[in-house]
């Protein structure tokens, strides 16, 4: 074990996990994330290391709105129902977080607004017109999980934003082959709308220098570096 990974350290160690979407109950695939993390936290504490173990519910996104339409209730009702489920479920599995929160918390809202405003003031957020899939039958635009079709790269069944059944590649709007609205099955048309973008390309030079210096696993560091090596694109944040 190299010096950077020896425990205990003279400062607290922060351990986090990917946030579960609150669009359904906990299942076995969730536990492959949280059980190993809990084992690692227990190991560190046995070593006398002070640990802060943080997680929370991801309460935003189309998985929740899709579930709400399936159940005939509001997205907030879905979010509150399954957030309570996770809050109650993890302790039953012996997984005890130092803090288990929610992206819907007032603190997270305030911090998000602060970050966006700072980026706007520095010229890193801008709006742009673009054409996105629109279902005339449902009278709505179709973000990611609201459309399915065929992946143009591997031919597998895919969502509008990702080939979730095949190669796993991220898909840009309009790339999906033979797209269909996941609600009514109609073929969408492309319609112009405006979205806000984060000027991620402005940070490419900084990230090339910063990422190699990060502590952590080579896998995590290289995953981020490969995005930079391929060339960053401005990120649609709406």
Token output for 94: 């012996």
For residue 1, what pLDDT is reported? 47
**Tens digits of per-residue pLDDT, 170-214?**
888 889 999 999 889 999 999 999 999 999 999 999 999 999 988
* CA–CA dist 231, 227 (Å, integer): 7
| Domain architecture of the chain: domains with CATH | 1-104 (3.40.50.620), 130-191 (2.170.220.10)
Burial class (CB in 10 A: 0-12, 13-18, 19+), 61: middle
pTM tops 0.75: yes
């Amino acid at each position: 074990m190299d010096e950077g990974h020896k425990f205990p350290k003279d400062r607290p160690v922060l351990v986090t996990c990917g946030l579960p979407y609150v669009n359904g109950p906990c299942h076995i695939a969730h536990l492959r994330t949280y059980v190993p993390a809990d084992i690692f936290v227990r190991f560190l504490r046995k070593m006398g290391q002070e640990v802060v173990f943080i997680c929370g519910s991801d309460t935003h996104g189309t998985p929740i709105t899709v579930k709400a339409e399936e159940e005939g209730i509001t997205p907030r009702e879905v979010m509150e129902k399954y957030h309570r489920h996770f809050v109650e479920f993890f302790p039953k599995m012996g997984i005890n977080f130092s803090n288990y929160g929610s992206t819907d918390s007032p603190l997270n809202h305030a911090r998000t607004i602060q970050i966006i405003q700072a980026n706007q003031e520095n010229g890193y957020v801008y709006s742009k017109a673009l054409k996105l899939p629109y279902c005339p039958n449902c009278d709505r635009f179709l973000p990611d999980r609201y459309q399915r079709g065929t992946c143009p790269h591997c031919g597998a069944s895919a969502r509008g934003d990702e080939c979730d059944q095949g190669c796993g590649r991220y898909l840009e709007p309009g790339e999906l082959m033979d797209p269909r609205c996941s609600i009514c099955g109609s073929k969408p048309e492309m319609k112009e709308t405006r979205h806000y973008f984060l000027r991620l390309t402005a940070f490419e030079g900084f990230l090339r220098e910063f990422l190699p210096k990060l502590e952590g696993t080579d896998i995590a560091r290289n995953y981020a570096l490969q995005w930079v090596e391929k060339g960053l694109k401005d990120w649609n944040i709406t």
